[in-house]
Amino acid sequence: MFVAKAHNPPLAAVLIFAASALLAATTLLAKALGTDALGPAMHPMQISHGRFLFAFVVIASAVGVLRPKLVRPHWGLHVGRTSFGWLGITLIFASVAFIPIADATAISFLNPVFAMVLAIPLLKERIGPWRWLAAAVALAGALILLRPTPASFQPAALLALTAAMVIGMELIFIKKLSGREPPIQILLINNSMGLVIASIAVSFVFQMPTPAQWAALAAIGVLMACAQACFVNGMARADASFVAPISYATLIFAALYDFAVFDVIPDGVSLIGSAIILTGGLILVWREARQRQALSR
């Protein structure tokens, strides 16, 4: 087993805030690659491949320099986590080419809700009325963002919704992995396996990137690796109930980036739907914190 990090909420807040800014930047670059901003529009599976390729280079280099102590991995859990993670990130990258980054990001915040529902059959967890209320509120927000009318329905939003479901499944595997292995080992194995899966998938759609696209792909990988490092280290230094609300800053950064680069201004529907999803998430976080306080007495 590895030694847990010292409890340090202020440092955790800084790390999670940094992770939020970096994650939003990866979706911005994915949108640029998925449209014609940097050259011919690139297939989301190739964008996902670039993310895993360059993230693997960064993390493998860090492991080579730091030489951390590694433990025996649980390969089954890693395969499950990486497979769902690859599919989820590919779907997110596909969605941001067609809908505002803030909308895709907000819908992706449903993944804890789907993880909660999946935990009933897979982890045998019991779900109380407050959790069901949080899920209902968040799903209502997602329905608003889908704009379910013939005149305004966004089919691409379904990609983001599916991504949230898939990443919810990934969270189940992450939960099973937590406490078993050191974070840097989890990141190394995740990105190694993800690179293998992405390399097979991209062979069917590969196109030679332009120099600007190569730079963007490299930036996505580096930013994602840094975001993952910040996130796992932030999670190790504070309670999840403290960390989770800070991670919602990703939505703010996504909206700012989309406006600064693509002149996309969130409309009223986007703001209302996003606010409702965040409300559902915060209800879930509040309830989890209350339960932990009750158990610690």
Structure tokens at 16: 């999670």
Number of domains in the chain: 1
Indicate whether 119 belongs to any domain: no
Indicate whether 170 belongs to any domain: yes
Indicate whether 297 belongs to any domain: no
C-alpha distance from residue 265 to each of 45, 100, 101, 260, 287 (Å): 28, 9, 10, 9, 33
d(Cα 283, Cα 130) in Å, to the nearest integer?
8
What b/e sequence results for 112-145 when a residue is b if at least 16 CB atoms lie within 10 Å of its CB, and e otherwise?
A: bbbbbbbbeeeeeeeeeeebeebbebbbebbebb
At residue 23, the pLDDT reads 92
| Domain coverage including residue 34 | 9-106+148-257
E strand or H helix at 55: helix 44-66
d(Cα 282, Cα 233) in Å, to the nearest integer?
22
At residue 2, the pLDDT reads 46
At residue 206, the pLDDT reads 95
d(Cα 36, Cα 142) in Å, to the nearest integer?
28
Indicate whether 111 belongs to any domain: no
Q: Which of 173, 158, 161, 177 is nearest to 109 (CA)?
A: 161
Indicate whether 64 belongs to any domain: yes
Indicate whether 189 belongs to any domain: yes
Flag residues of the chain having pLDDT under 70. Answer: 1-6, 149-152, 179, 239-242, 244, 292, 294-297
Indicate whether 129 belongs to any domain: no
pTM > 0.75: yes or no: yes
Q: What are the φ/ψ torsions at residue 286 (nearest 5 degrees)?
A: -60, -45
Indicate whether 291 belongs to any domain: no
